[in-house]
Structure 1
Amino acid sequence: MDVSTIDVRLLTADEWEVFRRVRLRALADTPQFFGSTLAEAQGRTEGDWRAALLDRAQFVASAEGAELGTVAGISDPERDGVHLISMWVAPEARGTGVSDLLVRAVIDLAVADGHSAVWLEFADGNVVAERLYLRHGFVRTGASGLVRPGEPRVEYEMVRKL
């Protein structure tokens, strides 16, 4: 796969079905890395999916009509930054540069909106994700928490100053 043929675009609320399709695939593929579950996502209504797209900048990467990955950025004025969440790349697109394009989309969004930082969390054991974020200038903050309430899995916070 040639990274130059990959398109990264911002989804609109009218594209809720694309968001739903990609999110369900992500939760089925790597449930251990997300704070929500496949069952929770399957229970969401069209209105829920549309509302989510109004509360965030949800990017999708695609090539030749196939969705290859997604990431979201949520603006947080209190932290003067953008929270990078819900990062996922399809198995067939891993190692092709899709993840770099998605991270860059959120960083570019934060810069364009005049924010001073982008932060994120990654699950313990997700070495590939940590390497991706380190490559883009993120560093661990020392903060950590549970991936989901009631579960023992830990996630670590990283930040990139802009």
Structure 2
Amino acid sequence: MWIAPIEPDEWSIARTVRLDALAGSPPGTFSSSHSEALRWGEQQWREWAGRRHPFFVARADSGPVGSAGVIVTAGGPELVSMWTAPAARGTGVSDRLVGAVIEWARTAGHRELRLWVLGGNRPAEQLYRRTGFVRTGAVQPCGEYDPRPEYEMARALTHER
């Protein structure tokens, strides 16, 4: 198994892993739905895969088994689009994906990495705590029409190895 950011011309890999993530996740877990992403054409997938910020994919011989992305907002980098295939859960893939994002943010010179975790998603919150994240106290609704709470978590990034 290896983890690497995808290149823009690897849009079909981005499509595969994103559709797998959306298909197997409860509504509201990600910013788009499976049915919405199914309607995207090649050009939209190319644009999504070619974003300025990295999208890491964990791959096994059988194909993609996980993903994690980064967006950089005015407040700094955020871990987004974290997903691990059910068959790969408990194997360390999630920890390695989070580690890849942490290393990217550290190398890019950021002092902190943040994320939002859906309330009640204990496995995700346990992963983030295990990898050094703590709740900041900030809470927001999951979406415009979804009042479920999301909790912000953050991890300080040291620049020592």
TM-score, shorter chain, exceeding 0.5: yes
- Structure with the higher fraction of residues in helix conformation: 1
Whether the 8 Å contact between 1:31 and 1:37 is mirrored in structure 2 is no
Q: Structure 1 segments of 4 or more deviating over 4 A?
A: none
> Take 2:62 and 2:87, find their aligned partners in 1: how far apart are those partners?
14
Give the aligned partner of residue 137 of structure 1. 132
Give the aligned partner of residue 94 of structure 1. 89
- Out of 36, 42, 57, the position equivalent to 1:40 is 36
Question: 1:151 and 2:151 equivalent?
Answer: no
- Out of 51, 55, 59, the position equivalent to 2:56 is 59
How many residues matched? 155
Q: Mark the runs of 5 or more structure 2 residues left unpaired by the alignment.
A: none
C-alpha RMSD of matched pairs (Å): 1.3
Q: Mark the runs of 5 or more structure 1 residues left unpaired by the alignment.
A: 1-5
> Take 1:23 and 1:107, find their aligned partners in 2: how far apart are those partners?
21
Whether the 8 Å contact between 1:31 and 1:38 is mirrored in structure 2 is no
Whether the 8 Å contact between 1:123 and 1:156 is mirrored in structure 2 is yes
> Take 1:11 and 1:88, find their aligned partners in 2: how far apart are those partners?
15
| Structure 1 residue 155 displacement after superposition | 1.1
| Structure 1 residue 101 displacement after superposition | 0.5
Q: Which amino acid aligns with 2:22?
A: L
> Take 1:47 and 1:141, find their aligned partners in 2: how far apart are those partners?
38
Question: 1:50 and 2:53 equivalent?
Answer: no
Give the aligned partner of residue 123 of structure 2. 128
Give the aligned partner of residue 72 of structure 1. 69
| Structure 1 residue 75 displacement after superposition | 2.5
Q: TM-score with structure 1 length normalisation? A: 0.90
| Structure 1 residue 63 displacement after superposition | 1.3
Q: Describe the superposition over 1:8-42 as per-residue Cα deviations: whole angstroms up to 9, x where unpaired.
A: 01101111111111111111101332232112211
| Structure 1 residue 44 displacement after superposition | 1.9
Q: TM-score with structure 2 length normalisation? A: 0.91
